[in-house]
Structure 1
């Protein structure tokens, strides 16, 4: 298996013009070259390119001699407290290198802001495909579609069955009361974002969702390592033969906590035939309704068999997932209004976040069942 991190350039756009103003805010190329030379040795070739597929932390592709690397750093400008913690992301990916979880190989981590203006880390690049819709279903065979879903949920089960003592992550989080803290944390993130966006428009529906989640957060739940952002477009597949999941990315929100928050998050993006139209095409891929992809119920059954963990309180976990997506979307919108991003998705959050709040309420009301 090839180790590292990358994206298939045929699936998503790769880079932007390195001369633009936003790129200059992301990296000081001379300072980065000096850092790499000091830590990795001399190299004849050095190039930095920005990858545009993600919507949270920034991803840069770095060529250093014969090595192809990925640099992960936070976005420039003001962000919500505890968001975009790339060194936390590095620490868990580094700790899990010897496990069955497929991961990029870590290279370096740096907290010296004189290099690129923020914390960052480097890992090797991997050659594979991120399964996104784009122009349609990237898979034509029902058997391959079925395997993509099975690999996705099997890898989530592998994450949730990691022995955290063995990998040195015993103190990585505080699982007691995790789901209740999730509601509190994302309510705080939304409050922070609304302080930047409320002059543009309000989202009144979110407050009923907030109250319901506060009243229905489970007091007891399993305790495992959780990824925090586990979904189809945060993993990579080798599609050369039978689909094989070869990399899990975007660990910035990982911790010890309630594994059902991960499962609910994954399920909130998964679509079944007959589902209502997605509220935002940027977040939800209709191709998952095609013949062959497992249903949400089938994914849950496979997860329960692999982990021994029962998926209870579905309405809470999927409503929480959409609530968190509201929080992310509103933070994106805040960054757009502040001029701290050039992502074309961000201005769309003006309409998308209110629509997502309505969807969370529909899940609570039982109108979008598992």
Structure 2
């Protein structure tokens, strides 16, 4: 790690704020590094030479309304502490832009591996890949089983009309990030809006659940679920559909900076097996799967278009963004193919 200037993180100002708000926490000057692989909020690991912490803040530019909400991430992780869903311990939330130029929070650094590349997942044995896949599904089912009221999240979202609002929200996010024409994306949004299913039950929704958003310990147990920026109350099956798209929706794509190293082509179970495991684990009936999968394709396409927008405007930090834009149209095409004509 380095004490050199980091984009979006002034270590001296961070140190002064932590000394004021959490006196005695730090033993010495801070050093830090930008964690590579993040494609939305910026994540840093900082150290005082004795301990490590993680700092999260929004991207450097083009922050969309309702996106990159530091308070939302901080609140849900704080609420889930002590449940069956493993989360890092939260330390401090700062909503004052004058400290770092944007809201941020500080949380525990959880040691372990984030499996975000084929080079990392190929180190797992075949049995470890299967067991890790089942864990991933089981943690998701545990999250969806939590009564939001019981953890102080009863007002965390509005489950009524959630799916309709989701289609509208991501359509608005798309409009705010448009820099080019994308064949079929308006048709996909329209068809999703016309066929919104009934939500069987409401629960806590992660919003971006996948293997590379969890930390796995040396014992191959999931130690922490990360990236809660899109968490809310709503239809849990949106998490399941999104996970399935991440799992197999990028199969065979070269130069893919998203969801790499998972799925049956890498020796993991199929997306259908994950879905079956979830149904068995949760006891919930599963209907309208095609809609949830198509919505997953649409949502990821819009997220990637936003990343592409920031990349072409020089507002991203990290590697691999030059390939993101090429993934959007194929995702839209798969979403349309999944949402079969009636």
* TM-score where L is the length of structure 2: 0.92
- For residue 36 of structure 1, what is the aligned residue in structure 2? 18
Offset at residue 80 of structure 1 (A): 1.2
**248-257 or 357-366, which deviates more:** 357-366
Instruction: State the Cα distance separating 1:271 from its structure 2 match.
Output: 2.9
* Number of residues of Structure 1 aligned to a counterpart in Structure 2: 339
For residues 66-113 of structure 1, give each alpha carbon's deviation from its aligned partner in whole angstroms, at most 9, with x where no partner exists: 221000000112211111111110000001112111110111111111
**How far apart are 1:62 and its partner, in Å?**
1.1
Matched, 1:332 2:311: no
Asked whether the equivalents of residues 86 and 222 of structure 2 are also in contact (C-alpha less than 8 Å), the reply is: yes
How well do the aligned residues superpose, as a CA RMSD in angstroms? 2.2
SS of match in other structure, 1:189: helix
Look up the match of 2:239.
262
Alpha-carbon displacement from aligned partner over 1:142-191 (angstroms, at most 9, x marks no partner) = 21111010000000001001121111100000011111111110011001
Does structure 1 conserve the Cα–Cα contact (< 8 Å) formed by 2:245 and 2:296? yes
Q: Does 1:204 align with 2:186?
A: no
Judge which range, 130-139 or 112-121, deviates more.
130-139
- Residue ranges of structure 1 left out of the alignment (5+ in a row): 1-14
Stretch moving more, 109-118 or 39-48 = 39-48
Q: Which moved more, 1:32-41 or 1:102-111?
A: 32-41
Separation of aligned partners in 2, 1:277 and 1:302: 24
Residue-by-residue CA offset, 1:113-156 (whole Å, 9 max, x unaligned):
11111110000101111122343643442211110100000000
Question: Within 5 A, what are the aligned runs for 1:72-91?
Answer: 72-91=56-75
Report what 1:305 is aligned to: 280
Relative to 1, partners in 2 of residues 1:259 and 1:104: Cα closer, same or farther, differing over 3 Å? Answer: same
Alignment of 1:189-200 (within 5 A): 189-194=173-178, 197-198=179-180
1:246 to 201, 211, 223: 223
Contact 2:208 2:227 in 1 (8 A): yes
Q: Determine the C-alpha separation between the residues in 2 that align with 1:191 and 1:156.
A: 31
Equivalent-residue separation in structure 2 for 1:332 and 1:301 (angstroms): 32
* 8 Å contact from structure 1 (residues 58, 74) kept in 2: yes
Distance 1:131 1:314 in 2: 27
Unaligned runs of 5+ in 2: none
**Structure 2 counterparts to residues 328-367 of structure 1, below 5 A:** 328-365=303-340
2:296 match: secondary structure: helix
Q: Is this contact kept in 2: 1:271–1:285, CA < 8 A?
A: no
